[in-house]
A and B are shown apart, each in its own frame.
Chain A
């Protein structure tokens, strides 16, 4: 595997944990802690996968995702949503807007790796078709 992941998450410790886990699995992880500048970060880093927290300062994860899906260049980017609220309606909302995967905090490292791998696989096959 391999590829670039943009991690948009305001909690420093969580950024560090996810970054460490995914780096060891061969991913190049870029962290970003501010919602307001997240879109700009996406266009700048051109990631293969985005991991997106929902509760963010400036712009919420939902708003960022909606903006991504409306942008023709970024509409197909696989997005993994993270949430700490853990309520079913958040998950529904995320899929409705166009999230590709969804994880509730706290999650196991294995789940995180498996989800990311699945997203990468889907994206690759999706590209080929």
Chain B
């Protein structure tokens, strides 16, 4: 028999080998050389931490006690890997896309990054895992004690063994689990050590199985006969329990923090999952293949009194096969340690991320969570957590005193973490799931589980049964764990499972339906449920090198070919790869991101680089930041658009004003030119004749009188011109005072005709009127109206070219207004000039030579506008026809 010292030496050697493997793997991975590390087989083997010492040794014990029931523990995961492969794949994809660090992170990310939910899941996981870790320690110490009964140091001290094992595991986990904070950096050393342990585990049980079937029994036929005869075959079949345990094991493989760690966090390539889909069930099959033969043989050899959990060791030992026993011992040791290492790693991540660091941040009001200081804090928190988790496990082991009841803790722990299942499945499959629903479901399930299973188990382990448990709190028996809801639970585990998961699921659904998700939750929900729409698969590390091309294309698009080229060349040179593309190292990516950020914004730059290099590690936070930036840019562009529109409008207005000013200036020039002409013409006559008079040479009196007369007339003409100009100016721009009053149209016409010297018999122009129609009383400025009429009549006197000039004045009354037409029998105004006659200084060609500056009609029109009427020329076949329109209105005073 191997001495205790020898056993310790073997253990230390084995652990040293594990350290070595892990160390080499780390180093090779850092150099990018370890191809075997990045293989689906390594991934599958790492999943085998599912088979802990509890299943390694305990399966045989379970077979002795309950027949084939132990198979359910393997059946659940097998069904999940085969039937729910799509769900595993979705979890892996989400974990990658969202940079998930743990199962608690997964749940909290899905429910709007809720810190409360994360802390709840963490708490649940730690509470569930602590007894489980204790179980592993117990199995190791137990196997020690069985194996070595004495040595140089006497009987082994179980407690001392346990604490050494715990400390060693803590050290290992700290060394290989907390080298770096980065989640993306996996733990290749740790994973490879676990893979090695998985092989040892499988080899041990297979060798022992072959030994039992062919060494102890006479081959398979003999073995089957022995099984037939064994009491193992007589175990009662309990369908409900089978179903329950299968479901429980299936839930555990999805929810156990350590399983999540190897399944999702340590996954390097999504395609590895496809291999694990068949290889992991195969592993489980091989592990369980010889359980029954070993149980049967053990039972035959030791009888029902012996501890069947130790048959794996006692059978080869009794038969004197120490080497084989040592291999089995190492297998069990591997099963225990690998589980503890990964569990401690996963739990420490959760503890540090969701409880210690948030608490520390709140305590210190730290502003910059990414500072170096903060990274040290997080790393320290993780290391302390690992030590803490193992210490908890050790503490629980000491408290329980290695009681038999510890064996039940495996299934109890399974049910504890299974409380996460509804929120996990709901979060992945149902967009309507909310944080409130998740918290209610997990919380209620957790409480029921603690009350119905955990506390009674602890009490039983401690050998006490307080009244509060047996009779229920406050004497309410329906609340007692023994009789929940008054049920006489024949199987407390199943009862607790149905109750806790039932209430959990119900509250999860109700809570989700009755609460509204926050925007972040809604977005995360979409990201989880529709993860395949939003992300790229991760195909190992080699994907990153191929990304350099894509990065260059993107950089060229954003920075321009020249700048992008220089950036990449410089980086390649710095990496010593002149002429090629640079490796997308973190340094280079950071630099690239900074450059891009100058053009597209930091969040967008990060998202773009991550999209190419990180294989769709664009989180919702990134997307929200991008959306914010985009919204800002759009805001700016809308503002710019509005501004440029305003500018365009202003420019148009300015152009319009400019054109108006130019036109006005031209009009002013033309007007001044006209005035100059109208003033200089009479002045020319005045000057010429006055000079003649002054020289006084040979001018007779008659001539003298004539010249004086001309000078006089031209002076009057000048005065009239100035009067007209001033009148027009006042009418056009000034305030005209109208002296309105009652006036009869007939009287006004009489006055005008008299003033123009066109009374009947006065002059050449014959006036034809109808006095009856003229008997209209107007409310108007009679003087101004007379002025207009005089102008029209005198125009006819001047310009009517008929042999017998005539003018008809016709009055027509219309609703609300009156119309007075002045029609002469002359040749009229040519069509092309009709539009001009109302302009200042405009005179029809036919009017040339006639006196008048051409302001009369312009003035008349202004007057008529002031009087509320109008003056227009009516084109007709014969004669000139001017139409005066006047409003018929009641006196304002009345």
Contact = CB atoms under 8 A, between A and B. Distances in A.
User: A and B bound?
Assistant: yes
Interface of A: 10-14, 16-18, 20-21, 24, 33-34, 55-58, 84-87, 104-109, 112
B242 interface: no
B849 A13 contact: no
B180 interface: no
Contacts of B362: none
Contact of B680 (A56, A86, A108): A86
B575 interface: no
B711 to A, nearest CB: 9
A33 B673 contact: no
B849 A11 contact: yes
A105 B679 CA distance: 10
Interface stretch (B229-237, B399-407, B685-693, B789-797): B685-693
B681 A14 contact: yes
7 contacts: A13-B685, A14-B685, A14-B688, A18-B688, A21-B692, A86-B680, A109-B692
Contacts of B682: 13
Nearest to B674: A85
B692 A58 contact: no
A104 B684 CA distance: 9
Interface string B812-851: 0000000000000000000000000000000001101100
A26 B710 CA distance: 24
A109 B686 CA distance: 11
A16 B684 CA distance: 11
Contacts of B676: 84-87
Nearest to A16: B710
Nearest to A33: B849
Given A16-B710, A85-B677, A105 B683 contact: yes
Given A10-B849, A33-B849, A57-B845, A105 B673 contact: no
B714 A13 contact: yes
A104 B680 CA distance: 9
B698 interface: yes
A112 B848 CA distance: 25
Interface in B655-697: 673, 676-677, 680-689, 691-692, 695, 697
Contacts of A84: 676-677, 680-681, 684
Contacts of A56: 848
Nearest to A55: B677
Nearest to A54: B677
A87 B688 contact: no
A104 B676 CA distance: 11
B710 A13 contact: yes
Nearest to A24: B698
Interface string B73-109: 0000000000000000000000000000000000000
Given A13-B685, A105-B683, A108-B691, A87 B849 contact: no
A82 to B, nearest CB: 8
B688 A109 contact: yes
Greatest chain A CB density within 10 A among B676, B684, B686, B848 is at B684
B681 A105 contact: yes
A34 to B, nearest CB: 8
A107 B681 contact: no
Given A55-B677, A85-B677, A86-B676, A107 B684 contact: yes
Given A24-B698, A85-B676, A11 B681 contact: yes
A109 B849 contact: no
Nearest to B849: A10
A100 to B, nearest CB: 20
B794 to A, nearest CB: 19
A61 to B, nearest CB: 12
A90 B676 CA distance: 13
Nearest to B846: A57
A11 B688 CA distance: 13
B732 to A, nearest CB: 23
A109 B710 CA distance: 17
A113 to B, nearest CB: 11
Contacts of B686: 106
A14 B684 contact: yes
Q: 10 tightest CB-CB pairs across the interface, nearest first?
A: A57-B848, A17-B688, A84-B680, A13-B685, A106-B687, A105-B684, A106-B684, A84-B677, A105-B680, A106-B683
Interface string B243-278: 000000000000000000000000000000000000
Nearest to A11: B681
Greatest chain B CB density within 10 A among A12, A57, A104 is at A57
Contact of A11 (B673, B685, B687, B713): B685
B710 A85 contact: no
Given A12-B849, A14-B684, 9 more contacts: A11-B684, A13-B682, A57-B846, A58-B845, A84-B681, A105-B680, A106-B684, A108-B687, A109-B688
A104 B673 CA distance: 13
Nearest to A86: B676
Contacts of A106: 680, 683-684, 686-688
A62 B37 CA distance: 105
A17 B684 contact: yes
Contact of A85 (B673, B688, B689, B691): B673
Contacts of A24: 697-698
Contacts of B714: 13
B683 to A, nearest CB: 4
Interface string B4-28: 0000000000000000000000000
Contacts of B710: 13, 16-17
Interface in B847-864: 848-849
A56 B682 CA distance: 15
A11 B682 CA distance: 9
Contacts of B680: 84-86, 104-106
A38 to B, nearest CB: 13
Contacts of A108: 687, 691
Nearest to B844: A57
B845 A21 contact: no
B317 to A, nearest CB: 131
Contacts of B692: 17, 20-21, 109
Given A13-B714, A14-B681, A84-B677, A107 B687 contact: yes
B849 A57 contact: yes
Contacts of A12: 849
Given A13-B710, A17-B692, A57-B845, A87 B673 contact: yes
Nearest to A57: B848
B695 to A, nearest CB: 8
Contact of A17 (B673, B689, B849): B689
B710 to A, nearest CB: 5
Contacts of A104: 680
A106 B690 CA distance: 12
B704 to A, nearest CB: 12
Contacts of A20: 692
Contacts of B846: 57
A18 B681 CA distance: 13
A84 B676 CA distance: 7
A21 B687 CA distance: 12
Nearest to A18: B688
Contacts of A16: 710
A29 to B, nearest CB: 13
Given A87-B673, A106-B688, A108-B691, A10 B848 contact: yes
A58 B849 CA distance: 12
B681 A109 contact: no
Interface in B837-894: 845-846, 848-849
Contacts of A10: 848-849
A16 B691 CA distance: 14
A106 B673 CA distance: 15
A114 to B, nearest CB: 14
